[in-house]
Chains A and B, each alone.
Chain A
Amino acid sequence: MKLSSGTIRLIIPAASLALLLAAVFYMQPRAMSYTGLNLLFNLAIPIALATIAQMLIMSINDLDLSMGTFVSFCACVAATVLQTSPLLGALIFIGAIAVYAGMGMLIHVRDLPSIVVTLGMSFVWGGLAVLLLPSPGGTAPTWARAIMTAKPPLVPMAIIASILIAAVTHYIVMRSSFGVLMRGTGGNDRSVERAGWSVIGIRAATYALAGLFAIFAGIALVGLTTSADANIALRYTLLSIAGVILGGGEFVGGKVSPIGAVIGALTLTLAGSFLSFMRISPDWQIGAQGAILIVVLALRLALNRLEKREKHQ
């Protein structure tokens, strides 16, 4: 049987997720239930959405260091303006998407490093979030709360949402012609340009799409937590990058995997629960998360070597 390199790329993330899940079930059999699964993966939905947004940016060789502050900003908008006057809230979100598209164009036109531009933007989003919500507060829009706490029959909401996110983004990134152009821009933007496509348009659209997913992440987060504050999602910047890498994505070359990214986000969330089930002292939880990251990446390296050896034979 011949496996495509994309499938092989997915094996390690999927296997590590399964292993972690098995370990959690072994230690806490009661987690193997509808409520248990929902609790385990609930917080993964916003992280998965943010990871997808980061993955889109990474597919064109850029990196968004403002992801955490932008998701925080969106959460603040969702908990304040979107809740009181939905129309104005929607307008703000459309404006934010336009800013993301503009950022993508600016980075391309002036050939700027995306790390620095998004670094600057992270201050801007952080400042806007502080202006909106100087102290923690706000209320989640009822519909966002309803979606995030929905209890569909048989399969918990967290699982359905993850599968839905993975399926939709897999279609956009891997199957649609826009996705091919996007990954092509990451691989070699000059050849995409020579083939007659507007690279600046592709970049703007990619950034806009990433902004949209980050907005979803902010709304989903508020739906879960019911209120927001300006620092609510700061750790998403690093989590989203780690999620993409865990899921088999690469920093350059347009090599990304949406399904992998969602699995990566689930793995990161589960790692936290796993550690608390292990009764590891809270002091070491962050460190153990780092160790899990290293172990998974080491496994991936081993698999990549195996793949290469097979190719040489």
Chain B
Amino acid sequence: MTLQKFLTEKPWIWSFVASIIVWITTVLFTGGASSLGLSQAALTFAAFSVIVGIGQMFVITLGPGNIDLSVPATMTLSGTLALKLMDVQDGMILFGLFASIGIGLIIGLGNYILIKLLRIPPIIATLSMSFIVQSVAIWSNRGLRIKPPETLAGFATSGLFGIPNIALVALVLSVIAWVLLEKSIYGRWISAIGQSRFAARMAGIPVDGARLVTYMLCAVLASVCGYLLASFSGGAALNMGSEYLLMSIAVVVVGGTAVAGGNSNIPGIWGASLFMFLVVSMLNTYGFGAGFRLILTGFIIIAVILLAGGHKSHR
């Protein structure tokens, strides 16, 4: 009875259980040889999904219709511009980071201005914004591939005690996000807004301020992720963000956050990100082609939402 209660209160457990099962199946196939490499790769690539996923989660918490589609474009622009600014100089690393945070702040502000002033649904507002951001990225990139500064590239690709640095960064960001969501008044506000914006407004919550901060937070996390991803992969590419559009939404939902808003959790994003990466590498290990891999990924997302979404959500 208590176990059952624990499981229903903590929906994110499932994504971790699933990740562990998939990890074991993959390692068994290779006879245990790949366990360390697989774990490190999983932690690294999951970390990128975690960083964008946290931002997307805050936005989704705001309630139905709130989704940030400008995440991939923001990642691309921030990665491109930051590398251009740093220009392979180690001394500019911090400056590049601040620049990419600045880009995130501007895009987030722009998103919310469109949503608020033009009363456009967030999906369309962030979509229009992403077109513009993408254009700026194309214009500034010009097909050049600038390498990241050596120290930064070294940091992004190495680890501490066997744990990739990127994963540690994501962990720190997750802890901050968890405190924000669970322990701060801001977290209570956005959950309240997600459950009922009208009631939240009546209760005196600064709804507009909280929403503005949330869209800016999401854009900043996306641009930091773009900065790290560009440093990790040795340069920015115009399509580097594209797979994170669906991924950022998928990890949030598979992780057990209510899509209707108002009920979110951070650990689930980790479980889901690890799971999504491990499934792909398991199918690779078993020699499935790209087609089957995509089909199975789709079925898994639907299966997870079927299992996790059994309770009635209030719309």
Q: Which residues of A contact B (CB under 8 A)?
A: 63, 65, 106, 110-113, 115-117, 119-131, 134, 238, 241-242, 245, 251-252, 281, 283-291, 293-294, 297-298, 301
B127, CB-defined interface residue at 8 Å: yes
Say whether, besides A111-B313, A301-B119, A128 and B124 are in contact (CB < 8 Å): no
Let me know if A128 and B291 touch, CB within 8 A: yes
Which residues from A are CB-within-8-Å of B135?
A: 283-288, 290
Complex formed: what's the CA distance from A128 to B292 in Å? 8
Given known A-B contacts A120-B301, A123-B298, A242-B127, A110 and B309 have beta carbons under 8 A apart: yes
Is B120 within 8 A of A116, CB to CB? no
| Partner-binding segment picked from B32-40, B45-53, B245-253 | B245-253
Q: Provide 9 A-B residue pairs closer than 8 Å at the C-beta atoms, listed in order of the A residue.
A: A113-B260, A113-B305, A117-B305, A120-B300, A123-B294, A123-B301, A241-B127, A288-B135, A290-B127
Residues of B within 8 A of A117 (CB): 302, 305
| B139→A283 contact, CB < 8 A | yes
- Residues of A contacting B119 in the complex (Cβ-Cβ under 8 angstroms): 301
Of A112, A116, A117, A245, most buried by chain B (CB within 10 Å of CB) is: A116
Q: Do A120 and B131 touch (CB < 8 A)?
A: no
CB distance from B76 to the nearest CB of A (A): 12
Nearest-neighbour CB distance to chain A for B112, whole angstroms, equals: 14
B128, CB-defined interface residue at 8 Å: yes
**Distance between Cα atoms of A126 and B289 in the complex (Å):** 13
Contact B250–A119 (Cβ < 8 Å): yes
| Interface bits B49-91 vs A (CB < 8 Å: 1, else 0) | 0000000000000001101010000000000000000000000
Enumerate chain A residues within 8 angstroms of B301, measured Cβ to Cβ.
116, 119-120, 123
Interface of B, helix, strand, loop or mixed by DSSP: helix
A287 touching B120, Cβ below 8 Å? no
Query: Closest CB of chain A to B84's CB: distance in Å?
Result: 15
Known A245-B124, A287-B131, A291-B132: A126·B294 in contact at CB below 8 Å: yes
Please report the C-alpha to C-alpha distance between residue A297 and residue B132 in the assembled complex, in whole angstroms. 16
**Category for how many chain B residues contact A:** 35 or more
Docked-complex contact A116 and B259, CB < 8 angstroms? yes
- Give the one of A128, A252, A290, A294 with max B CB within 10 A: A290
The answer, yes or no, to whether B176 is at the interface (CB within 8 Å) is no
Which of chain A's residues have a CB closer than 8 A to the CB of B253? 113, 115-116, 119
Secondary structure of the A side of the interface? helix
Q: Which A residues lie within 8 Å of B294 (CB)?
A: 123-124, 126-127, 130
- A297 close to B118 (CB less than 8 A): yes
CB distance from B48 to the nearest CB of A (A): 19
List, in ascending order, chain B residues with CB within 8 A of A251's CB.
65, 121, 123
* B264 contacts A by Cβ under 8 Å: no
Contact A115 B67 (CB under 8 A): yes
Q: Which residue of A lies closest to B309 (CB)?
A: A112
A238 partner, pick from B65, B127, B291, beta carbons under 8 A: B127
Contacting pair A294 B114 (CB below 8 A): yes
Chain A CB count within 10 A is highest, among B130, B289, B298, B306, for: B298
Are A294 and B139 within 8 A (Cβ)? no
A111 near B312 with CB under 8 A, answer: yes
A293 to B305, CA, bound (A): 33
Given the interface pairs A119-B249, A290-B128, A290-B132, the reply to whether A127 lies near B121 with Cβ below 8 Å is no
- Contact A134 B305, beta carbon cutoff 8 Å: no
Per CB-CB distance, the 4 closest pairs between chain A and chain B, nearest first, are A287-B135, A290-B131, A127-B294, A123-B298
Query: Which residues on the B side are within 8 Å of A128 (C-beta)?
Result: 291, 295
